[in-house]
Structure 1
Amino acid sequence: MMQLHPKVIDLSLGRMSRILRALGNPEQRIPPSVLIAGTNGKGSTLAMIRAGLEGAGKTVHTYTSPHLARFHERITVSGQIIGEQELTEILAECEVANEGRPITYFEITTAAAFLAFSRAEADYTLLEVGLGGRLDATNMVVPRVSVITPVSADHQAFLGDTVAQIAGEKAGILKSGVPAVIAPQVPEAEGVILAAAERRGAPLSLAGRDWQIWEEHGRVAFQDERGLLDLPLPRLIGAHQVTNAGTALATLRLLDEGDPERALTEAVWPARLQRLKRGPLIDMAGPAELWLDGGHNPAAGHALAEAVTRLSPRPLHLVCGMLKTKDVRGYLTPLARVAESLHAVTIPGETATLQAEQTAAFAREAGFTEVRTALGVERAVADIVAADPSARVLICGSLYLAGTVLRQNG
């Protein structure tokens, strides 16, 4: 697929409309769906909604992106990662339907996901928007519930220079008569989303107005018009995951389905402050801790910096690789306040990667005083552990770097 179609961003719904018509409009035959847009927290929120639904005995399809270790992760059918033969056959069917016409990699693989979901039984389909919302390939469905997680600056080249413009693109998933859950937003984003919902006649379940969630005495409390829930802290680490938990719980309330406690305690989402526990890097690290996170924008940097302060005290050292398209200084500035050093690496196999020397320069501008470059993650980890065997090593900066690590370590 990557040879046949460009892995580029070209936001439009025209090509999706065409191929879906050629396939018999499978998006109209999938189980009731939840469509999730936003800048940060989409995947974690989806994982919690899924855990809540499955915890109540429901069967769920999911579509997420990007993948980490292998493409198949993007598509789970009735709770199982799609099999090689089924994926191959469905992609081939989409190729025939496309008839050699222009289409992007994300568009044709999204069409394949819709086709797979339309042919298998499930109670719900959970769809993560790829980029933006209004013109994203996933926005061909009329969902049971729309969800917008926190909106902040990212992908400005495609979505707009301001948070308000970006919020307008995210709000493009709102549809007449379809209820929507809106996570806590900065004022400029919230105003745009509220105005879009009013124009389109989309009823809202709005954080701070219709529901709220807070941490108290080592647990979380969720409150809406239906009452108060007293629940364990989310399995996923960080204050931002409490926010994501609230968004997931509000969605389950609208669906009138799911197990709230399991939504929080059984959700799994790789490369979101994930502790690595096996693989060559672990063998090399000895008593040091290895953690992995794929966040890559300023909001993610702030959330990650807050989350690591909740871990037990250890000296924190970063191994960081990032893409050219990201606000590297904005991402690293909050992390410079909590980490003792940064080793910059080049992400292998990614044409859009920053070279290690460029990332190192941004790190110094962000406030890191001890900055080095390394030929790869393994070399960086080895150097850190040799200098400080009790280190906590956090590999971060990109989902693409995270995928490279996970293919060999978990």
Structure 2
Amino acid sequence: MRKSLDEWLRWQERLNPKEIDLGLDRAREIAARLPIQPPAGAVFTVAGTNGKGSTVACLDRLLAAAGFRVGVYTSPHLVRYNERVQVAGESVSDDGLIAAFERIEAARGDLPLTYFEFGTLAALLVFSAAQCDAWVLEVGLGGRLDAVNVVDPDFSLITTIALDHQDWLGESVEQIAAEKAGILRSDAPAFFGDVDVPAAIRARARELGTRLRCYGEDFAVVRRRESWCWQGAHVRLDGLALPDIDDDAAIRNIALALSAVEQFDPAIVTAGNVAGLLGARRPAGRFQVVAGRPQWLLDVAHNPQAARVLRERLDLLDEPRETTALVGMLADKHVEGFVEPLEDVVDRWVVASLSGPRTQDGELTAERIASVSDRPVEYAGAPAAAIELALRVTPGDGRILCCGSFHIVGPALEALGLYS
């Protein structure tokens, strides 16, 4: 009897005892046995600490507007695994994933792939079978040894570098930058999307002879009161409408995607295509405001840098509200550093326990929050119970700020009936 998708995923979680087992040898060997055909157009690989999902979405929309059939691979997912693999804007079906998993299993022999490696190879098979002519691949962790790096990119993008995943990537920004610079190739233009370029990225680009284009140096943004201008290597766009999230991080992500696409084909970078990009709905869980009593605000921010951006965006909202922070965090996250930027806009913390690998007991998360916060902190248990408690303690004219992990934002979206 054929396994269901859920059965395949549960089996993959047990196949390799390590959830994260960095290295390319296994995935590269099996990829060579599979009918994976690089696209006729281009491969865009996106790494970075924060902003990857938004940058991937921008690339997808720009390429689709130019008529490309785009395959997009992202992780993690909010609710359904299928979200990770999209073709022409649609999540791949269970049957499509199962067929890819079956081919990988037939090819792998006794090599113990990780859950992420299985998913990455499946995405590449799906894109090949669907004859996608452009691929946009989001790195899962780091870059140098991430399974996505089995594919040679035509364009390498790094969004930002900050402290996160130190257990695997290193304790300093420069060590983390060196890992993420592993996606660079000698024959592929590279792009960095923040103002402070780590020395490790510049050094790796010099070593490879890669042309590195950086925000503020090789492409730039000029903000005006009611519009903004983007200047690339060959194209300048004036009078662009401000995005609905009008802050530096959002505009940097758009500028980064525009710069990579400009190098691929300047004809794609038009005011009309950018207008379509700005008018499109943001990916779910990215500063997603849901009207109601109380108001909900859902954001997958999960490290200190992302929390600082979230704090800046909260200042852009209409007026302060009594706010309950509904959070769940993985064990490898800097909880205290995440709490600090949000402390003065949160009136109470409700903490959930998350399920799956790399999770820590929610009671420990609550203790860590309480160690640095003067606000009340209450541990509620599973996400469903935490959502119920947050609704009970938040006044109708207040706000529930749901953040800290994909694994708490996803259940909240389901509870709100916003996921289908």
- TM-score for both structures, normalised by structure 2: 0.89
Superposition deviation, residue 375 in structure 1: 3.3
Give the Cα–Cα distance (whole angstroms) in 1 for the partners of residues 372 and 66 of structure 2: 46
Counterpart in the other structure of 1:310: 316
3-state SS of paired residue (1:222): strand
Give the 5 Å matches for 1:122-133.
122-133=132-143
Give the Cα–Cα distance (whole angstroms) in 2 for the partners of residues 104 and 91 of structure 1: 13
Give the Cα–Cα distance (whole angstroms) in 2 for the partners of residues 43 and 295 of structure 1: 11
CA contact (8 A) 2:387 2:412 kept: no
Counterpart in the other structure of 2:304: 298
The alignment-based identity, stated in percent, is 34
Q: Deviations over 1:142-183 (max 9, x none)?
A: 222110000111111111111001000111111012111111
CA contact (8 A) 1:345 1:356 kept: yes
Q: Deviations over 1:280-322 (max 9, x none)?
A: xxxxxx5210121111111011011111111111222211111
Task: Call closer, same or farther: CA 1:126–1:146 in 2, change over 3 Å.
Answer: same
Counterpart in the other structure of 1:335: 342
Task: Call closer, same or farther: CA 1:73–1:264 in 2, change over 3 Å.
Answer: same
CA contact (8 A) 1:236 1:267 kept: no
Counterpart in the other structure of 1:106: 116
Task: Call closer, same or farther: CA 1:52–1:83 in 2, change over 3 Å.
Answer: same
Query: Unaligned 5+ residue runs, structure 1?
Result: 278-285
Give the 5 Å matches for 1:4-403.
4=12, 5-6=15-16, 8-24=19-35, 26-28=36-38, 31-187=41-197, 189=198, 191-225=199-233, 226-236=235-245, 238-256=247-265, 257-258=268-269, 259-276=273-290, 287-313=293-319, 314-347=321-354, 349-387=355-393, 388-403=395-410
CA contact (8 A) 1:52 1:264 kept: no
Task: Call closer, same or farther: CA 1:237–1:9 in 2, change over 3 Å.
Answer: farther
Superposition deviation, residue 210 in structure 1: 0.7
Any runs of at least 4 consecutive aligned residues in structure 1 with deviations exceeding 6 A, and if so which?
none
Q: Deviations over 1:212-239 (max 9, x none)?
A: 1243213332123432433122245643
3-state SS of paired residue (1:342): strand
Give the Cα–Cα distance (whole angstroms) in 1 for the partners of residues 327 and 258 of structure 2: 33
3-state SS of paired residue (2:336): helix
Task: Call closer, same or farther: CA 1:214–1:270 in 2, change over 3 Å.
Answer: farther
> Which deviates the most, 223-232 or 75-84?
223-232
CA contact (8 A) 1:51 1:267 kept: no
Superposition deviation, residue 129 in structure 1: 0.6
Give the Cα–Cα distance (whole angstroms) in 2 for the partners of residues 75 and 381 of structure 1: 28
Give the Cα–Cα distance (whole angstroms) in 2 for the partners of residues 267 and 141 of structure 1: 29
- TM-score for both structures, normalised by structure 1: 0.91
CA contact (8 A) 1:30 1:118 kept: no
Task: Call closer, same or farther: CA 1:252–1:31 in 2, change over 3 Å.
Answer: closer
Q: CA RMSD in A?
A: 2.1
Give the Cα–Cα distance (whole angstroms) in 1 for the partners of residues 383 and 27 of structure 2: 38
Match for 1:396: what amino acid?
C
Superposition deviation, residue 240 in structure 1: 1.6
Give the Cα–Cα distance (whole angstroms) in 2 for the partners of residues 261 and 161 of structure 1: 40
Task: Call closer, same or farther: CA 1:79–1:383 in 2, change over 3 Å.
Answer: closer
Match for 1:12: what amino acid?
G
Match for 1:405: what amino acid?
A
